[in-house]
Structure 1
Amino acid sequence: MKAAMRAKEKVRLGTIRMALAAIKQIEVDTRESLNDDQAIAVLTKMVKQRRDSIAQYAAAGRDELAQIEADEIQVLEEFLPQPLTEEEIVVLVDASISEMGASSMADMGKVMGSLKPKVMGRADMAAIGAMIREKLK
């Protein structure tokens, strides 16, 4: 935050302050300090919200607002772990399906539950869900 202040990067500074405020708000509400995984979950949620906003702004023809949201996503992603590649996701999904002994769609919840902690903040759970559905057909 101090580096952004010194460099007079308004978007970066505002985004960092917003992220810290969101984390602090959860800490105050729950009266406990967040660990790294919980902070990553907050940042991931913020990125998802911004992606939804970009889609809505683009549909409404508000490209300048969509660009602001895209800039915020770029800053937030710097604080998230490196995203998994498609191949890594496929390997994790296959391993989880075999580990859980999943054979039908009824087992999808077990597979998703085992994958969630492994991919938190590193992959889109909706895409993983679609991949699991395809494999369990």
Structure 2
Amino acid sequence: MSELKATLRSDLTAAMKARDALTLGTLRMALAAVTNEEVAGSSARELTDAEVTTVLAREVKKRKESAEAFENAGRAELAEKERAESAVLQRYLPAQLSDAEISALAQEAVAEVAASTGSAPTMKQMGLVIKAAQAKAAGRADGAKIAAAVKAALA
């Protein structure tokens, strides 16, 4: 079992003992998402910490999108609940990169792709550069921010 998944389980037990309904419900949903990811595909497998982090990041993104949708629909109480769940999950994710760090990462990825292809990358090779930048970010930055930084670096 991955270390992060074990931490989630022990924190779930602590939330049960503390009768913390928000944390309890959020961690149950997160562990269910991790389990679903483990059994998805042709055979069951254990997820690594990096894969568990990816699942948690996806859950945080869902919560943020739901909060925004609830806010637009005039349901502030539901939006606040989604934001609170997102905050609980954020505790288990690595710190996000700043815009300056993402920009520097995009520049490194452009240089890396230029070295591997032998010429400066063009907008047609943006996918290759984004892939390299996302590998360097390792879940510490939103994909949209990475794509915007790469686009700016290539322009």
Question: With structure 2 as the length reference, what TM-score do the two structures score?
Answer: 0.83
Q: 2:101 aligned with 1:88, yes or no?
A: yes
**Which structure 2 residues correspond to residues 1-137 of structure 1 after superposition, within 5 A?**
1-30=12-41, 31-101=44-114, 102-137=120-155
Q: Alignment length, in residue pairs?
A: 137
Separation in structure 1 between the aligned mates of residue 63 and residue 94 of structure 2, nearest angstrom: 18
Separation in structure 2 between the aligned mates of residue 80 and residue 21 of structure 1, nearest angstrom: 17
- Cα distance per residue 1:9-56 (max 9 Å; x no partner): 110111011101111112122311111111111111111111111111
Question: With structure 1 as the length reference, what TM-score do the two structures score?
Answer: 0.93
Separation in structure 2 between the aligned mates of residue 32 and residue 71 of structure 1, nearest angstrom: 31
Q: Give ranges in structure 2 of 5+ residues lacking alignment.
A: 1-11, 115-119
* Percent of residue pairs bearing the same amino acid type: 39
Deviation at 1:8, TM superposition (A): 1.5
Secondary structure in structure 1 of the residue aligned to 2:139 = coil
Secondary structure in structure 1 of the residue aligned to 2:27 = helix
Secondary structure in structure 1 of the residue aligned to 2:40 = helix
Q: Give ranges in structure 1 of 5+ residues lacking alignment.
A: none
| Relative contact order higher in (CA < 8 Å, ≥ 6 apart) | 1
Amino acid at match of 1:10: A
Separation in structure 1 between the aligned mates of residue 24 and residue 133 of structure 2, nearest angstrom: 34
Separation in structure 1 between the aligned mates of residue 65 and residue 111 of structure 2, nearest angstrom: 33
